[in-house]
Structure 1
Amino acid sequence: MTSKTVAQLLSQDVTLQDVSIKGWVRTFRANRFIALNDGSTINNIQCVVDFENFDEALLKRVTTGAAIHVTGELVESQGKGQSVEIVVKSLEVLGDSDPETYPIQPKKHSFEFLRENAHLRTRTNTFSAVMRLRSSLSFAVHKYFNENGFNYMHTPIITGSDAEGAGETFRVSNLDSKNPPLNEDGSVNYKEDFFGKETNLTVSGQLEAETYAMSLGKVYTFGPTFRAENSNTSRHLSEFWMIEPEVAFMDLAGNMDLAEDFMKSVLSYILDKNKEDLEFLEKRLLDEEKTKPQAERSDMSLIEKIKFVVDNNFKRVSYTEAIDILKNSKPNKKKKFNYIIEEWGADLQSEHERFLVEKHFKCPVILFDYPANIKAFYMRLNEDGKTVRAMDILFPGIGEMVGGSQREERLDVLKEKMKALDISEEELWWYLDLRKYGTAVHSGFGLGFERLVMFATGMGNIRDVIPYPRTPQNAEF
């Protein structure tokens, strides 16, 4: 008999049939009712055991966390909370679970405790729902780009460049750490290293993606990136995943169109495919909100936030206009913002971004034409000489979700910007070549995948939306 999943059995209308299923025990009540879950759905299936038909020693092994194989008859449920249940005819314990030491007991656990047991935390409802949503979002990303004519590109993980110019990278080396070869001035001689030069883990695949866009037209990357930023906030990871499309012959307006359409598409996908997981996470979030002071509670539920993005047109506003709005806003005038907006050129914080989205425009917002001195060197300089064709997409509850720009395609201007920021032309000779051989307008954006998963699940800490978080002083598992 072929085994079915819990999701398959709960979706069937046909009862009074023999079925086979394998999964992990969530609870075993009164030596009669087994709640079984196999990860295919947030819901358990109830397996009803007649104690007299089974060996007592066998039933003692049916403990929380044990893996079992059940066969029996699928019948209409006599109890509340489920439509069908299995009347057990045979039961086999595939893998025992020590009830004294198994950490994921049927009770509420703190997220801190579950991070310490990250190898088992997906056996809880919250984390199984989060990771199913993460999987669905991943599929939706590839689906969107595939259906829109993009080529998927695998950019290097080991690189000799620092795309952002931030300098916060993880060095890659196989030199003897205790006795590295030295130059005459005492510095490390990286010419004797494995790659013959100083290399690091990538902070972005964007620059390499640009090279492929200028021959394949439309490409995207979706891979791991690394930042050696010593930050322990709820929004920072040292290893995370980035989605970065790049498109030739596309200007900033086209970039905004693409990003808006993309975000609506992937979020629509999970509204359709992950309804039960979203409903569970929404209830979890509502219960969590009740414990907060009234002033800190969200005005929208989880599903309402997602629909807020899917159903509304994104408002496009220049940075200059946004600064005027913020300067004259009540929170700014009454000094309710933690960071008071005083003049043009300020780097906007999450509180400002959320005010624009949630209070002022009441829809997702795309800010564009930012001051050049707070944006990256590769963004196209506007004719005013002080702003660049950058854009950020702002969402409710989280602030910035997407950052992108029209790229600087003019060789002379790009060289001047690199010189001013002390970025080596020698290191990025290949990037400059794009501006020598068939240069053209092109654009792209970046989206931190974990930030998208946070938004879609309502989780408050980025460590809880990636299987095994890498943060300062933490590389467990």
Structure 2
Amino acid sequence: MSAMVKSVETTEMTEQRQAPPGLGLSKYSRRVILSTILNREDGGVGLVGERVVVGGWVKSYKGIHRQQDHVQSKLLPPVPSPTPSSNVVDLSCSEVLMSRVPLIRSITRLFLNQHHSRVIDLPTPSSLPPASPSSVYLWINDGSCTLQLQIVLDSSVHLALSQVMQIGTSILVQGTITKAPDRSKFAVQIVVEKVVYIGMVESNKNRPTQNPTRFSSAFLRLNSHLRPKSTTVESTSRIRNGLTQGTHAFFQKTGFIHIHTPVITSTRTGSGTTCINTSKHLRVKPEETAAEKAEKKKVRGRGNKIGVDAVKVAIKEKSRRIEELRRSDSNRDAIDSAIEDLKNAKNLAMELEQKKHNSLYLSMSAGLHLENYGCGLSSVYSLGPVFQAAPITGHNSQKKTADLSEMWVVEVNLAFSELEDGMKCSEDYLKFLCGWVLENCSEDVKFSMKKIDRTCFDRIRLVQLSSFKQITYTEAVETLNKVESKTFKQKVEWGLVLSEEQQRYLCDEMYKQPVIIYNHPKNLKPFFLRLNDDNNTVASFDIIIPKVGLLISGGQREERTDVINLRIDEAGLQRKEYEWYIDLRRQGKAKQTGFSVVLENLAMFVVGTDDVRDVIPIPTLLTHGI
């Protein structure tokens, strides 16, 4: 959506050095944040009489006509009093009726023809231009809360009020807080004294005509640039912000250090819940310059296959050519051109050499690099993007994070810890996060209850207050095999991944509380998790949450050098790619435990939506992005 920005006032906005008592002033835009007015217990009544500057986007509007204006716009323009020179015609009731009703007028003309000369055409309401409203009510929101502020503009602001009567218009005004009319649903309103700025919505045939605040979720998933216009997306974004704040608050409070891990890596890290050899990575391939493309074309023209050896041969030839040009006293331009050609060939050789020995990938997990820093800083965590190449198999599959090519993940590593410590830390983190959201995002949780899932508050409170049931993977399989009242779509068998249906049955129907399933078969988990003494399972755990299913995965890391080498071989991976990771075991490695949680899954858990694309700011699939 494009916007034509119009400055309404040429004078600068009156500076507010200090906000009125009880109001929060935006530090860098000198306006009052709407949440500091609307989220007060009294709805802002205690601020009546304060002069403020506020801004936001128009969510709705209503034009008001004064009584005399209303009559004029609906009936006829006022008729001037007759003067002596006026030709005044007295009309009968039937003549007025003929003038008002086109059908009667046509019939009269048909039958009377020229014998009735007093059929007079008077202006009709439809022929009159629409009257401009004398005042306008706007309901605006600046994104700081779910509520909207009512502002009132009238003709005293020296503005064509029709300019602001468009959904999505941005507006900055100065006015006084007053008590709203008794029958209004608002406690207060702002009577505008001056319009400081307007960003109008431009009329465009390609622009959707639908109210931007009422776009469907399906439409917004494909038009990500319009997502912030949706009240639901605004609320979800504040909840996501709260989850991020809560994450940092918990780990900073408990002595963890935040680490920025690499996005581009030469190590195929895999994800926290899958084996690396079954994961699909996004490989980084630098874009070729025009000169490099030309050099490749030259090499191919000689009948050589594009490779490091062929390019090296070309480099030798180019070097000899430069020497010949210098000995023959050639002009400087020819020498410079030959040198530039040689430079391009060397760059191409370097690129091919890098591809041959060291491929680069977008990271699928920060786990291995975080484990590295855990060996020196003890307790560390990261919060950042990860990437994956996942196939799109159908519409229903798009509800899963597996179909996102980019997502944000919280990853944690604790030194000098074992499986039980990691399970306790992840449980405490999740309960803390639930309490944080209920305390700091209460209005947005209420909005989600009203618009998305009315059970979301109860679900969050359940996780916050419940104890977590702990069962082994083997116990989970045995329990599911005893179920006779339900037939699962996927076979229940030891060694198979528990389906979402099976996980949620354990959580929702069997135990009716969060469940931690631990000690999974080694073929279902990454190679870096510690092999148990039975040689069949690893020290892993998954946390299953009501309605959501799997939310957190983790486990104890393998600290034994011989075992990690064996697990890498079993996974079909190349040891040389993980030599630095193996070497950690030779450098005084402590026992470590870690876990990860996808931020999008946390947001889905809080909001109650079933589609991950509704909780990520700009959903990026392999087939679509912005």
- What is the one-letter code of the residue matched to 1:83? A
> What CA distance in whole angstroms lies between the structure 2 residues aligned with 1:81 and 1:122?
25
Which among 74, 77, 83 is matched to residue 187 of structure 2?
83
Which among 12, 34, 49 is matched to residue 6 of structure 1?
34
Tell me the secondary structure at the aligned position of residue 389 of structure 2: coil
Aligned pair 1:317/2:476, yes or no? no
Tell me the secondary structure at the aligned position of residue 462 of structure 2: helix
Which among 385, 388, 392 is matched to residue 224 of structure 1?
385
* Preserved CA contact (<8 Å) 2:59 2:213: no
Q: CA deviation at 1:67?
A: 1.1
User: Which residues of structure 2 form unaligned runs of 5+?
Assistant: 1-15, 17-29, 65-135, 271-275, 297-304, 311-348
Deviations 1:135-188 (A, max 9, x none): 111111111111111111111111111122234111112264975943689xx9
Which among 492, 509, 529 is matched to residue 379 of structure 1?
529
Tell me the secondary structure at the aligned position of residue 434 of structure 1: helix
> What CA distance in whole angstroms lies between the structure 2 residues aligned with 1:184 and 1:320?
55
Q: 1:389 to 1:103 in 2, by over 3 A?
A: farther
Q: CA deviation at 1:62?
A: 3.6
* Preserved CA contact (<8 Å) 1:65 1:102: no
Comparing 219-228 with 63-72, greater Cα deviation is found at 63-72
* Preserved CA contact (<8 Å) 1:66 1:95: yes
Which among 588, 591, 598 is matched to residue 448 of structure 1?
598
Aligned pair 1:339/2:490, yes or no? yes
- What is the one-letter code of the residue matched to 1:338? K
* Preserved CA contact (<8 Å) 1:131 1:465: yes
Q: CA deviation at 1:311?
A: 0.9
User: What is residue 286 of structure 2 aligned with on the other side?
Assistant: 174
User: Aligned-residue CA RMSD in angstroms?
Assistant: 2.3
Which among 412, 416, 438 is matched to residue 588 of structure 2?
438
Q: 1:437 to 1:309 in 2, by over 3 A?
A: same
Tell me the secondary structure at the aligned position of residue 286 of structure 2: coil
Which among 151, 160, 168 is matched to residue 57 of structure 1?
160
User: Which residues of structure 1 form unaligned runs of 5+?
Assistant: 287-299
Tell me the secondary structure at the aligned position of residue 418 of structure 1: helix
* Preserved CA contact (<8 Å) 1:191 1:197: no
Which among 235, 244, 252 is matched to residue 400 of structure 2?
235
Q: CA deviation at 1:205?
A: 0.7
Aligned pair 1:113/2:278, yes or no? no
Q: CA deviation at 1:472?
A: 2.2
Q: CA deviation at 1:30?
A: 2.1
* Preserved CA contact (<8 Å) 2:214 2:230: no
Q: Paired residues, what number?
A: 456
Deviations 1:357-413 (A, max 9, x none): 111111101100111111111111111111110000001111100000001111111
Normalising by the residue count of structure 2, what TM-score does the alignment of the two structures yield? 0.69
> What CA distance in whole angstroms lies between the structure 2 residues aligned with 1:345 and 1:167?
19
Q: CA deviation at 1:115?
A: 2.1
User: What is residue 9 of structure 2 aligned with on the other side?
Assistant: none
User: What is residue 614 of structure 2 aligned with on the other side?
Assistant: 464
User: What is residue 89 of structure 2 aligned with on the other side?
Assistant: none
User: What is residue 451 of structure 2 aligned with on the other side?
Assistant: 284
Tell me the secondary structure at the aligned position of residue 435 of structure 1: helix
Tell me the secondary structure at the aligned position of residue 357 of structure 1: helix
User: What is residue 289 of structure 1 aligned with on the other side?
Assistant: none
Tell me the secondary structure at the aligned position of residue 163 of structure 1: coil
Tell me the secondary structure at the aligned position of residue 155 of structure 1: coil
> What CA distance in whole angstroms lies between the structure 2 residues aligned with 1:182 and 1:175?
17
User: What is residue 515 of structure 2 aligned with on the other side?
Assistant: 365
> What CA distance in whole angstroms lies between the structure 1 residues aligned with 2:351 and 2:510?
53
Tell me the secondary structure at the aligned position of residue 323 of structure 1: helix
Q: 1:104 to 1:44 in 2, by over 3 A?
A: farther
Tell me the secondary structure at the aligned position of residue 414 of structure 1: helix
> What CA distance in whole angstroms lies between the structure 1 residues aligned with 2:562 and 2:175?
75
User: What is residue 374 of structure 2 aligned with on the other side?
Assistant: 213
* Preserved CA contact (<8 Å) 1:42 1:125: yes
Q: Which has the higher helix share?
A: 2
> What CA distance in whole angstroms lies between the structure 1 residues aligned with 2:163 and 2:287?
55
User: What is residue 129 of structure 2 aligned with on the other side?
Assistant: none
Structure of larger gyration radius = 2
Q: 1:209 to 1:56 in 2, by over 3 A?
A: closer
Tell me the secondary structure at the aligned position of residue 272 of structure 1: helix
Q: 1:385 to 1:274 in 2, by over 3 A?
A: same
* Preserved CA contact (<8 Å) 1:190 1:197: no
* Preserved CA contact (<8 Å) 1:133 1:270: yes
Identity of counterpart residues, as a percentage? 31
Deviations 1:215-269 (A, max 9, x none): 1101111111000111352113100111111011110000000000011111211
Normalising by the residue count of structure 1, what TM-score does the alignment of the two structures yield? 0.90
* Preserved CA contact (<8 Å) 2:407 2:599: yes
